Amino acid sequence: MQAQPEASHYIDGAPAEDTAGERIEVIHPANGEVIAVVHAATPALIDRALDAASRAQADWAALRPVERGRILARAAALIRERNHELSVLETLDTGKPIQETLVADAASGADALEYFAGFAPTVAGQTIPQGRDFAYTLREPHGVCAGIGAWNYPMQIACWKAAPALAFGNAMVFKPSDLTPLSALKLAGILTEAGLPAGLFNVLQGAGTVGAALATDARVAKLSLTGSVPTGQKVYAAAAQGIRAVTMELGGKSPLIVFDDADLEDAVSGAILGNFYSAGQVCSNGTRVFVQRPLRDAFLARLAERTRAIRLGDPLDPETQMGPLASAAQMEKVLRHIEAARAEGARLVTGGARHGTTGCFVEPTIFADVTDDMEIAREEVFGPVMAVLDFDSEDEVLARANATPYGLSAGVFTRDLTRAHRMAAGLQAGTCWINAYNLTPLEMPFGGVKMSGVGRENGHAALEHYTRIKSVYVGMGPVDAPY
């Protein structure tokens, strides 16, 4: 299995290489095989990418939005044509099963490009009458944006950042996670093929140091990070030095609340989707599953039955439902959390161990009798580990659900219409799902509150984060001066 790219980076419209940069082996986590080798960007390459982006941006911004949109729509069509090839690459890089990558990764990226291609021509300013004078506003791009991605949805994250940035007239330098460097390079090639002028979308490989170099460079006007809270704190602080605009899509410990009047099968489906999709490596996962006591035993029984039937295996096999974690380090971290949960007295319902001896597989794991103070209920695990907690009343569960520094997402399963909306109003989260979980259509803004982030991706809200407003006051004369 080889997935070696032509070169490590993509700068100024073409693949670029400098083997002086640190060697990064790209490993397929299902079997430990090295599928590619790339090199981290050297300071000279970082400089080239930022220069290329700065040079290209003004002409791009001067195009009619419909012309920019046409190029992005063409790129979306190319992604859809090549969805299978791109999905195989994403599966090799991340270990996620092909049945997921075929529908959730490049396809979501294409959605983003299509959505923002259509949105760009609709953007307009405001006219503000001032008697004989008037003012108007212009929506301007920031200039050069830096995007820094996590490893769980590499192609989707690259597209969710690049599509609005480019649609509204910015240039982007994107750094994928060093664990999953491959699909962003494909995106860059496709954008060029679709007609994107050179320099507008650049990809630089490397670990946190390359991200940090982007976060502190004076040429970067806006930073968008998808990653953990500790990284978010560093990147936000670096951005503050230059008073740069930021979007921070960070981690969570989201509550999924199941009332005793919920449809049991739907609630179990929501909990499984919200904990085991992508082997649990989803930022918005509902990893604290609160179940109202009268439903608890029936819920756990059905949940365990369906969880035990999940098929783990070769992620390239279309029948496989759960692949490995993205890296050995992540597998070790998840196994440590499982041990901590056991040690603290949580009751293991199913799973709880590594699966097999090859690759980074962890069994889908459910703990019951979890209490709010346990590590498993407080820390983001980012693996297939669900914590089930009991509750009695609506007020109690709302207070407990909100008692976390995170605020990315939340879910409620109930047939009571008014309670569902009361809960949605009270939950401290950027996204709330009612009788659903983890659906993130492009049309809906996505982001966090509290320590889960600032800013929103997708939907109309993205306009606020990839443009800035200029006010223009027009004096129609004469100028009224008191001196």
Q: Which are the catalytic amino acids?
A: 161, 249, 283, 457
Identified binder of ligand NDP from the candidate list 70, 82, 234, 378, rule CB under 6 A? 234
- Stretches 72-80, 115-123, 222-230, 264-272: which one binds ligand NDP (CB under 6 A)? 222-230
Identified binder of ligand NDP from the candidate list 144, 194, 262, 408, rule CB under 6 A? 408
State the minimum distance, in angstroms, from the CB of residue 310 to ligand NDP.
22
Distance CA 58, CA 77 (A): 26
Does position 185 bind ligand NDP by CB under 6 A?
Answer: no
Among 237, 191, 217, which Cα is nearest to 46's? Answer: 217
Does position 149 bind ligand NDP by CB under 6 A?
Answer: yes
Contact in structure between 187 and 201 (CB atoms under 8 Å):
yes
Does position 224 bind ligand NDP by CB under 6 A?
Answer: no
Q: Which is nearer to ligand NDP, 207 or 424 (CB)?
A: 207
Identified binder of ligand NDP from the candidate list 148, 335, 360, 397, rule CB under 6 A? 148
Q: Give bridge partners of residue 202 from the DSSP assignment.
A: 173
Does position 236 bind ligand NDP by CB under 6 A?
Answer: no
Does position 152 bind ligand NDP by CB under 6 A?
Answer: yes
Identified binder of ligand NDP from the candidate list 125, 208, 242, 426, rule CB under 6 A? 208
- Stretches 145-153, 260-268, 289-297, 352-360: which one binds ligand NDP (CB under 6 A)? 145-153
State the minimum distance, in angstroms, from the CB of residue 298 to ligand NDP.
31
- Stretches 66-74, 112-120, 208-216, 392-400: which one binds ligand NDP (CB under 6 A)? 208-216
- Stretches 230-238, 332-340, 393-401, 459-467: which one binds ligand NDP (CB under 6 A)? 230-238
Beta-strand runs (E) in 200-337: 201-203, 222-226, 245-249, 255-258, 288-292
Distance CA 320, CA 361 (A): 12
Does position 406 bind ligand NDP by CB under 6 A?
Answer: no
Q: What is the DSSP string of 369-424?
A: S--TTSHHHHS---SSEEEEEEE--HHHHHHHHH-SS--SEEEEE-S-HHHHHHHH
211, two tokens: 């991200």
Does position 235 bind ligand NDP by CB under 6 A?
Answer: yes
Cα dihedral across residues 228, 233, 235, 239: positive or negative: positive
Q: Which is nearer to ligand NDP, 65 or 445 (CB)?
A: 445
Distance CA 144, CA 326 (A): 30
Distance CA 339, CA 355 (A): 15
104, two tokens: 């959730």
Cα dihedral across residues 97, 73, 45, 237: positive or negative: negative
Q: Which residues bind ligand NDP (CB under 6 A)?
A: 148-152, 175, 177-178, 207-208, 211-212, 215, 226-228, 231, 234-235, 249-252, 283, 380, 382, 408, 448, 453
